[in-house]
Amino acid sequence: MYVTAISPVVLTIIIWIRALTLPGAMSGMAYFITPDFNRLAHPEVWIEGSVHGFLTLGLLGTDGHDWNDAIIGTVVTVSYGLFNGLVIFSVIGVVLSHESGIPIYKVITSGGFSLGFVAYPQAITYFPVPQVWAVLFFIVLLLPGMDSQTLLMEPVFCVIEEIFPDTIGKRRIPLLTGVTVITFLLGIPLVTQAGIYMFQLIDWYTATWSILLIAVIESIVYSWIYGGDRLSRDFQLMLGRPLPVFVRVSTAFITPGVLVFLVVVSIFKYKPPSYGNYEYPGYAQIIGWCFSIIPIIPSIIYMIWIVKNQDGILKKRLSSLLNPSVDWKPADKKARPVYQGLERNYKRSFKDLILFNLMGRGGYEQGTRETEDKHLEMDIINKDIHV
Q: Output b/e per residue, 268-286; b: 16+ Cβ within 10 A.
A: eeeeebebeeeebeeeebe
Higher per-residue pLDDT: 336 or 1: 336
CA 248/CA 67 separation, integer angstroms:
13
Q: Which of 196, 185, 183 is nearest to 112 (CA)?
A: 196
CA 346/CA 371 separation, integer angstroms:
8
Task: Compute the average pLDDT of residues 251-280.
Answer: 86
Residue 368's pLDDT is: 44
Residue 376 corresponds to which amino acid? L
Q: Which of 159, 267, 257 is nearest to 215 (CA)?
A: 257
Residue 364's pLDDT is: 46
Residue ranges covered by each domain of the chain: 2-191, 209-382
Q: What percent of the chain has pLDDT over 90?
A: 8
Banded pLDDT at 27 (limits 50, 70, 90): confident
Q: For residue 338, report the phi and psi dihedrals to the nearest 5 degrees.
A: -65, -45
CA 292/CA 204 separation, integer angstroms:
9
Pick from 81-90, 119-128, 260-269: least confident: 119-128
User: What residues does 274 pair with on adjacent strands?
Assistant: 279
Residue 252's pLDDT is: 93
In this structure, the strands spanning 278-279 and 274-275 are antiparallel
pLDDT tens digits for 67-109? Answer: 677 788 888 888 988 898 888 888 877 666 666 666 666 666 5
User: What residues does 279 pair with on adjacent strands?
Assistant: 274
User: What residues does 275 pair with on adjacent strands?
Assistant: 278
Residue 381's pLDDT is: 53
Model confidence at 378: pLDDT above 70: no
Model confidence at 384: pLDDT above 70: no
Model confidence at 119: pLDDT above 80: no
Residue 242 corresponds to which amino acid? P
Residue 367's pLDDT is: 45
Task: Compute the average pLDDT of residues 323-350.
Answer: 79
| Dihedral sign, Cα of residue 263, residue 67, residue 353, residue 229 | positive
- How deeply is 267 buried, as exposed, middle or buried, from its count of CB atoms within 10 A (0-12, 13-18, 19+)? exposed
Residue 321's pLDDT is: 86
Q: Is 231 helix (H, G, I), strand (E, B) or coil?
A: helix
* First vs last C-alpha separation in the chain: 25
CA 302/CA 237 separation, integer angstroms:
30
Task: Compute the average pLDDT of residues 341-359.
Answer: 83
Cβ pair 220, 188 in contact under 8 A = no
pLDDT tens digits for 134-157? Answer: 888 888 888 888 877 887 888 888
Pick from 38-47, 252-261, 294-303, 342-351: least confident: 342-351
H/E stretch holding 14 reads: helix 2-20
Model confidence at 185: pLDDT above 90: yes
- How deeply is 35 buried, as exposed, middle or buried, from its count of CB atoms within 10 A (0-12, 13-18, 19+)? exposed
Which range of 63-77, 120-134, 218-232 scores highest in mean pLDDT? It is 218-232
Model confidence at 235: pLDDT above 60: yes
Q: Which of 96, 83, 162 is nearest to 124 (CA)?
A: 96
Q: For residue 331, report the phi and psi dihedrals to the nearest 5 degrees.
A: -70, -30
